C-alpha cells in the first residue's frame, strides 16, 4: 500500500496541457522495460516549480504586477533546458507540460539536458520596450536561484527573442558579479549567440518532414503545405519547404488566414506582415475563415502556434497526408486517435521541433569553449542529429507497430528513467 498522497496537479479532472502530458506518459509506461517501471512516477512529478510575483513600474509611474513561472521537470540527464514565453494565457499547467515535453525532447535527440520551461502571464503587445526590459530583468532576478549555465539554461519561446535573452544574461551576470554568457541561449551573436539559431526549429521541422516524405514516397516538389503560425518556426519552415519546391498554399496567424492555391510568396508575405502587422490585405492571396484553414487540401500541415490547436472538433476536417508538429503539444490525444484512424501521419513535437534545442546545445557548448562554428558546420551537425533521431524513431515504430509519438516517448522516457535509475536516490 502506497503512503504517498497524489499531488494536486495529478488529476484526471484537469484537462489542461499538463493532463495531456500525463496521458502521454500513461500510454507509454507499459511499453517501457520492466526495470524502469519503479521510476515512471518520476515523470509525473516535476522536480520543482516556482511561481513568482513580477512587479514593475510602468512608464506612467504606476506599479503593475505579473505572474511568472519557472519549472524544472527533470534534471537527471543534465541541467534544465527550456524557453521562456510571454503570453497572456500562460498558466502553471502549461509551463509544467512544456517542461515535461522538453525532458522527452532533449532525450529523443540525445542532448545532455533535462527539461525546464518558464513564462510570464502578460500580453507583451501592451508594454513598451522599456517596460518589457524592466519586466524581463525583474523576472530574471526572481528566478535567479533556479537558473545558471550548469543548472538551468533558458532560451527564447513565444513572444521572446534575442533581445530578451540579452537582458536575462546581463541581469544574471550583474547579480553574479561576472559575465556568464552560457546562462541563456538564443542570444545575439555579439553576446555569444550561435549562427543558425533563429532558423533552427524551422529547419528541424523541414528536415523531419523531408525524411518522412522519403519513407512514404511523397515528392516534395509540388507538395502543398499549410502553416499555422508565422513566427520564427512557421516562417522558417515555410521558407525551406518553398526552397525545396513545395507550394505554401495557406498560412494562418493571429491576425488572419490567407490562401493561394498556386502558392504564397513567403518573402513577400513576411515583408507585408512586418510592415502592416497583419496578414489582411496581403497581395496575391485571399482571406479565408479560421475554420476553413483545417480543411485546405495539402500534403503537409505544420501547426506552429499554440497547444491543442488540433482537437476532436477539427481533426476530422484535416485534409493532409502528414502533420508536422512545429509547436509544442498542438495535437490533443483525442485528435491524434482521429488522425490515426484516417491514416494521417503525425511527426510529434518532441522530434519535429527539436532543432531549436539542438542548436541551443551547440550555442551552450560554444560559449563554454569560447570557440564558435560556422553556420554551415552548425546546419550540417543539426541535419545529422535530426535525421539520425528520425531514423531511430521510425525504425522503432515499425518494429513494434507504434505511432511515431509513442515510439519517440519510448526512446525519450527510457533515456530519462535510465539516468534516474543509475543515479539512485540521495540521501
How does pLDDT run across 130-166, given as a tens digit for each residue? 999 999 999 999 999 999 999 999 999 989 999 999 9
Q: Domain residues for 217?
A: 200-352
User: Is there a single domain that holds both residue 285 and residue 322?
Assistant: yes
- Final residue in a domain of this structure, among 327, 352, 377: 352
Other C-beta atoms lying within 10 Å of the C-beta of residue 330: 28
368 within a domain of the structure (yes/no): no
SS3 91: coil
By C-alpha distance, which of 65, 62, 61 is closest to 52? Answer: 65
332 within a domain of the structure (yes/no): yes
Give the separation between CA 316 and CA 341, rounded to whole angstroms.
Answer: 10
User: Is there a single domain that holds both residue 117 and residue 217?
Assistant: no
pLDDT score at 217 = 96
Question: Up-side HSE of residue 258: CA atoms within 13 Å toward CB?
Answer: 26
Instruction: Give the bridge partners for 64, in sequence order.
Output: 56
Q: How many domains does the chain have?
A: 2
By C-alpha distance, which of 221, 235, 377 is closest to 304? Answer: 235
- Residue 280 sits in a domain of what CATH number? 3.40.50.720
Give the separation between CA 421 and CA 125, rounded to whole angstroms.
Answer: 45
pLDDT digits (tens, 9 = 90+) for 291-317: 999 999 999 999 999 888 999 999 999
Q: Give the cell for residue 322.
A: 502528414
User: How far, CA to CA in Å, does 254 sit from each of 129, 167, 258, 277, 335?
Assistant: 21, 27, 11, 10, 22
The residue from 117, 151, 187, 215 that is catalytic is 117
User: Is there a single domain that holds both residue 205 and residue 333?
Assistant: yes
pLDDT score at 16 = 80
Using the 8-state DSSP alphabet, how is residue 189 labeled?
G
Q: What order of strands is seen across the sheet that includes strand 224-228?
A: 286-288, 257-259, 247-252, 224-228, 300-303, 322-324, 345-347
- Final residue in a domain of this structure, among 285, 319, 352: 352
CA angle 314, 320, 322 (to 5 degrees): 110
Give the separation between CA 170 and CA 165, rounded to whole angstroms.
Answer: 8
User: Is there a single domain that holds both residue 234 and residue 288?
Assistant: yes
Contact (Cβ atoms closer than 8 angstroms) between residue 4 and residue 42: no
117 a catalytic residue: yes
User: Is there a single domain that holds both residue 137 and residue 216?
Assistant: no
User: How far, CA to CA in Å, does 263 sit from each of 248, 256, 302, 422?
Assistant: 5, 17, 15, 52
391 within a domain of the structure (yes/no): no
User: How many residues are given for the chain?
Assistant: 427
- Final residue in a domain of this structure, among 328, 352, 376: 352
Chain position carrying cell 539554461: 153
283 within a domain of the structure (yes/no): yes
Among 19-23, 31-35, 49-53, which is the least confidently predicted range? Answer: 19-23
pLDDT score at 232 = 87
User: Is there a single domain that holds both residue 52 and residue 120?
Assistant: yes
User: Is there a single domain that holds both residue 262 and residue 291?
Assistant: yes
186 within a domain of the structure (yes/no): no
24 within a domain of the structure (yes/no): no
Among 5-9, 102-106, 333-337, which is the least confidently predicted range? Answer: 5-9
Other C-beta atoms lying within 10 Å of the C-beta of residue 340: 14
423 within a domain of the structure (yes/no): no
414 within a domain of the structure (yes/no): no
| CB-neighbour burial class of residue 281 (10 A; exposed 0-12, middle 13-18, buried 19+) | exposed
By C-alpha distance, which of 155, 160, 185, 180 is closest to 170? Answer: 180
Give the separation between CA 262 and CA 207, rounded to whole angstroms.
Answer: 23
Other C-beta atoms lying within 10 Å of the C-beta of residue 414: 16
User: Is there a single domain that holds both residue 141 and residue 267?
Assistant: no
Following DSSP, what letter does each residue of 285-324 receive, concatenated? Answer: -EEE-TTGGGGS--SEEEE-SSTT-B-TTTGGG---SEEE
Give the separation between CA 68 and CA 57, rounded to whole angstroms.
Answer: 16
In the predicted model, what is the mean pLDDT of residues 83-104? Answer: 95
* Percentage above 90 pLDDT, the chain: 91
User: Is there a single domain that holds both residue 260 and residue 304?
Assistant: yes
SS3 344: coil
Check pLDDT > 80 for residue 367: yes
pLDDT digits (tens, 9 = 90+) for 173-187: 999 999 999 999 999
Indicate the average pLDDT of the chain. Answer: 94
Q: What order of strands is seen across the sheet that includes strand 152-156?
A: 48-57, 63-74, 114-121, 80-87, 152-156
pLDDT score at 1 = 40
Give the separation between CA 205 and CA 238, rounded to whole angstroms.
Answer: 10
- Residue 62 sits in a domain of what CATH number? 3.40.50.10860
Q: Give the cell for residue 360.
A: 541551443
User: Is there a single domain that holds both residue 261 and residue 321?
Assistant: yes
Give the separation between CA 173 and CA 185, rounded to whole angstroms.
Answer: 14
User: Is there a single domain that holds both residue 154 and residue 205?
Assistant: no
User: Is there a single domain that holds both residue 150 and residue 235?
Assistant: no
Amino acid at each position: 500500500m502506497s503512503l504517498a498522497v497524489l499531488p494536486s496537479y495529478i488529476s484526471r479532472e484537469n484537462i489542461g496541457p499538463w493532463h495531456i502530458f500525463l496521458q502521454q506518459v500513461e500510454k507509454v509506461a507499459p511499453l517501457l522495460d520492466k526495470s524502469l517501471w519503479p521510476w515512471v512516477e518520476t515523470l509525473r512529478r516535476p522536480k520543482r516549480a516556482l511561481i513568482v510575483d513580477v512587479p514593475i513600474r510602468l512608464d506612467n509611474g504606476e506599479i503593475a504586477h505579473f505572474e511568472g513561472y519557472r519549472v524544472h521537470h527533470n534534471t537527471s540527464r543534465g541541467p534544465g533546458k527550456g524557453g521562456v514565453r510571454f503570453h497572456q494565457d500562460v498558466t502553471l499547467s502549461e509551463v509544467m507540460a512544456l517542461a515535461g515535453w522538453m525532458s522527452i525532447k532533449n532525450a529523443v535527440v540525445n542532448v545532455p539536458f533535462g527539461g525546464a520551461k518558464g513564462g510570464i502571464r502578460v500580453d507583451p503587445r501592451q508594454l513598451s520596450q522599456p517596460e518589457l526590459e524592466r519586466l524581463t530583468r525583474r523576472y530574471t532576478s526572481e528566478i535567479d536561484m533556479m537558473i545558471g549555465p550548469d543548472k538551468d539554461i533558458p532560451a527564447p519561446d513565444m513572444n521572446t527573442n534575442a533581445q530578451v535573452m540579452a537582458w536575462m544574461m546581463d541581469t544574471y551576470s550583474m547579480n553574479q558579479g561576472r559575465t556568464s554568457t552560457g546562462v541563456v541561449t538564443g542570444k545575439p551573436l555579439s553576446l555569444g549567440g550561435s549562427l543558425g539559431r533563429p532558423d533552427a526549429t524551422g529547419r528541424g521541422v523541414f528536415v523531419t518532414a523531408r525524411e518522412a516524405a522519403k519513407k512514404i514516397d511523397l515528392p516534395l516538389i509540388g507538395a502543398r503545405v499549410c502553416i499555422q503560425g508565422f513566427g520564427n518556426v512557421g516562417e522558417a519552415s515555410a521558407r525551406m519547404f518553398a526552397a525545396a519546391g513545395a507550394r505554401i498554399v495557406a498560412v494562418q496567424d493571429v491576425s488572419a488566414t490567407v490562401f493561394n492555391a498556386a502558392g504564397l510568396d513567403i518573402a513577400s508575405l513576411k515583408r507585408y506582415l512586418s510592415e502592416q502587422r497583419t496578414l489582411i490585405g496581403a497581395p496575391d492571396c485571399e482571406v479565408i475563415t479560421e475554420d476553413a484553414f483545417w480543411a485546405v487540401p495539402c500534403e503537409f500541415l505544420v501547426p506552429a502556434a499554440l497547444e491543442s490547436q488540433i482537437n476532436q472538433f477539427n481533426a476530422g476536417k484535416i485534409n493532409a497526408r502528414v502533420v508536422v508538429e512545429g509547436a509544442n503539444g498542438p495535437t490533443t490525444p483525442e485528435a491524434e486517435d482521429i488522425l490515426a484512424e484516417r491514416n494521417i501521419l503525425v511527426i510529434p513535437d518532441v522530434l519535429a521541433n527539436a532543432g531549436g534545442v539542438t542548436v541551443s546545445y551547440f550555442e551552450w557548448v560554444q560559449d563554454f569553449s569560447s570557440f564558435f562554428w560556422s553556420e554551415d558546420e552548425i546546419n550540417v551537425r543539426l541535419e545529422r542529429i535530426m535525421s539520425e533521431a528520425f531514423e531511430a524513431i521510425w525504425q522503432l515504430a515499425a518494429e513494434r507497430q507504434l505511432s511515431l509519438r509513442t515510439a519517440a516517448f519510448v526512446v525519450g522516457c527510457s533515456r530519462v528513467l535510465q539516468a534516474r535509475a543509475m543515479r539512485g536516490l540521495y540521501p
